């Protein structure tokens, strides 16, 4: 559930961007991100790269949209948002803290958290999320540069990529546990 909650600002943005101006949907997503950060802080839980990066992404884009004003088409805003999330995910791997690792550590005993299999599993899971976000960026760019494509196509591609990443996040560690390789 934790990792899904971390994506809540993106869901809010995606839904609102269909109905309101880009700046409003960006600020709403920044507000949801801030609430998630405060929630973590109040619970005494660790701060997550995804949540901090998401807040910064939406706040900076909200400021940009406010300064630039109207005229930013939704497919391009979505491209920038999805590209920003892809960047956050890739940076988490670059700094040797794949974003899934922070959520996974909250669900396993301390003895498992530093095992090479556990860490490797989280690199794989984070890479799958990066692939899903790369697919979303390509879909967003296609909608921007090929506006005659049906909106349904983008929705199907996005849904498939995100559901596939979520499914893999649940399935892969379970498979390793079944095989006795202890990814937990």
**pLDDT tens across 30-80, in order?**
999 999 999 888 888 778 888 899 999 999 999 988 888 766 778 888 899
Distances (CA, A) of 101 to 45, 115, 136, 184: 14, 12, 22, 11
55 neighbors 88 (Cβ within 8 angstroms):
no
| CB neighbour list of residue 115: distance below 8 Å, 6 or more residues apart | 182
Q: Is the pLDDT of residue 132 over 80?
A: yes
**What is the value of pTM for the model shown?**
0.87
């Amino acid at each position: 559930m934790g990792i899904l909650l971390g994506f809540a600002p993106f869901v809010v943005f995606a839904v609102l961007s269909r109905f309101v101006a880009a700046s409003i949907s960006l600020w709403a997503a920044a507000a949801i991100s801030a609430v998630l950060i405060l929630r973590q802080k109040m619970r005494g839980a660790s701060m997550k790269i995804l949540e901090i990066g998401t807040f910064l992404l939406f706040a900076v884009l909200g400021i940009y949209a406010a300064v630039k004003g109207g005229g930013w088409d939704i497919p391009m805003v979505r491209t920038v948002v999805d590209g920003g999330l892809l960047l956050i995910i890739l940076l988490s791997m670059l700094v040797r803290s794949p974003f899934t690792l922070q959520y996974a550590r909250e669900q396993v005993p301390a003895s498992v958290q530093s095992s090479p299999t556990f860490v490797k599993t989280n690199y794989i899971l984070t890479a799958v999320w990066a692939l899903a976000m790369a697919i979303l960026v390509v879909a967003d760019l296609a909608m921007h540069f090929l506006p005659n494509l049906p909106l349904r196509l983008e929705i199907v591609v996005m849904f498939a990529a995100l559901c596939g990443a979520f499914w893999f996040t649940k399935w892969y560690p379970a498979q390793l546990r079944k095989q006795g390789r202890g990814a937990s």
